[in-house]
Amino acid sequence: MGAALAINVEEAVGELIQLVSFNLGDEEYGVEVLKVREIIRMPNVTRVPNTPYYVEGVINLRGKVIPVMSLRKRFSLGEAEYDKRTRIMVMEVENELMGFIVDSVSEVIRISASEIQPPPPVVKSGVDQECMSGVINQTERLLVLLDLEQVSSQDERRMLTSVTI
């Protein structure tokens, strides 16, 4: 299992896990609820020069500067217009707050740890697929679990968290 969930599935078979599910295009993703600090509507984002293409910039959240990344761009899903459902999920990644732009946030779900399957080997070999920590296959739904520590490199996080407005 990836670091995002930090759970040994064999040891936690009956354990319930809470996830926040969100959408990027037609796909549904999930992250551990304990990583999410807050979910906010799209504020004005201040651009920052010389950052990777998927970094939208920074926001000021109650006096704290938070770097903001577009998960659509990060996963090469194409751009989409921001609308009334677009949200920034402010999450803790290795003790730093980061904002992740998503198309919409769906719900908080509870699943058994035993429902989490490892990513298929074919999918796992892709560059961006290292961000996946698992897959949940429910009857009408396939949910991809993200490993937030893999979404951006340690050097990128260090550079982004040192930015000031």
Q: What are the b/e assignments for 59-96, b being 16+ CB within 10 Å?
A: bebeeebbbbbbbbbbbebeeeeeeeebbbbbbebeee
Q: pLDDT value at position 83?
A: 93
Strands 141-146 and 132-138 come out as antiparallel
Q: pLDDT value at position 22?
A: 95
Chunked in runs of 10, what are the mean pLDDT values of the chain (165 residues)?
Answer: 44 75 90 94 91 90 92 86 94 90 94 84 51 80 82 64 56
The CA–CA distances, whole Å, from 1 to 41, 59, 82 equal 31, 32, 33
Q: Are 58 and 47 in contact (CB under 8 A)?
A: no
Q: pLDDT value at position 158?
A: 63
Side-chain-side CA neighbours of residue 29 (13 Å): 23
Q: pLDDT value at position 134?
A: 83
Q: pLDDT value at position 43?
A: 93
Q: pLDDT value at position 147?
A: 82
Name the CATH architecture for the domain at 16-161. Beta Barrel (2.40)
Q: pLDDT value at position 1?
A: 41
Query: How far out from the chain centre does Cα 42 lie?
Result: 16
CA–CA distance, 53 with 70 (Å, rounded to integer):
9
